[in-house]
């Protein structure tokens, strides 16, 4: 079995952001030499997530609006009693999820026709990382 572990680092300029990491993941799959297997992509920070969807700006806006409706930024989250101000970011990450398990077939990510992989940031402007683990034959 072949394997590769790589860390991707992000330091966004904005508190929330979406970064398309599909090409980076494809490059890692190629580098790994895995022809048939899986690619685990996992945000290693509790206010960031991984999202697999279409790379279309209107959809991004719809996503931000949905998350803001469900978990708006407020000052009265219990989490803020700890001195933090990012209770909404933790909850948005919970709704989105923190990782994706992607199939690898014939040496490439086996995504649907419009699927792309994104790093989703909900409390940015500081250094955070994502672990990528590729396993297979």
**Domain spanning 2-136: CATH superfamily:** YjbQ-like (2.60.120.460)
What pLDDT shows up at residue 17? 96
DSSP sequence for 71-133: S---S--GGGGGT-S-HHHHHHHHHH-SEEEEEEETTEE---TTEEEEEEESS-SS-EEEEEE
Tens-digit pLDDT profile for residues 45-79: 999 999 999 999 999 999 999 999 999 999 999 99
What pLDDT shows up at residue 132? 98
What pLDDT shows up at residue 36? 98
Whether residue 34 contacts residue 137, with contact meaning beta carbons closer than 8 Å, is answered with: yes
User: Cα–Cα distances in Å, from 86 out to 2, 16, 81?
Assistant: 39, 11, 11
Mean pLDDT, the chain, whole residue set: 96
Measured CA to CA, the distance from residue 90 to residue 46 in angstroms comes to: 6
The domains of the chain are located at 2-136
What pLDDT shows up at residue 110? 98
Measured CA to CA, the distance from residue 30 to residue 1 in angstroms comes to: 15
Q: Which residue has the tokens 């022809």?
A: 35
């Amino acid at each position: 079995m072949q394997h590769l572990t790589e860390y991707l680092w992000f330091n966004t300029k904005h508190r929330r952001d979406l970064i398309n990491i599909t090409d980076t993941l494809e490059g890692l799959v190629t580098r790994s030499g895995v022809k048939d297997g899986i690619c685990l992509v996992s945000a290693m920070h509790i206010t960031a997530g991984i999202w697999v969807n279409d790379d279309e700006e209107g959809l991004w806006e719809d996503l931000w609006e949905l998350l803001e409706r469900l978990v708006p930024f407020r000052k009265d989250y219990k989490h803020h009693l700890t001195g933090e101000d990012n209770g909404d970011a933790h909850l948005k990450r919970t709704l989105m999820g923190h990782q994706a398990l992607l199939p690898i077939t014939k040496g490439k990510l086996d995504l649907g026709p419009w699927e792309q992989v994104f790093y989703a940031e909900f409390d940015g402007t500081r250094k955070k990382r994502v672990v990528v683990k590729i396993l297979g034959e």
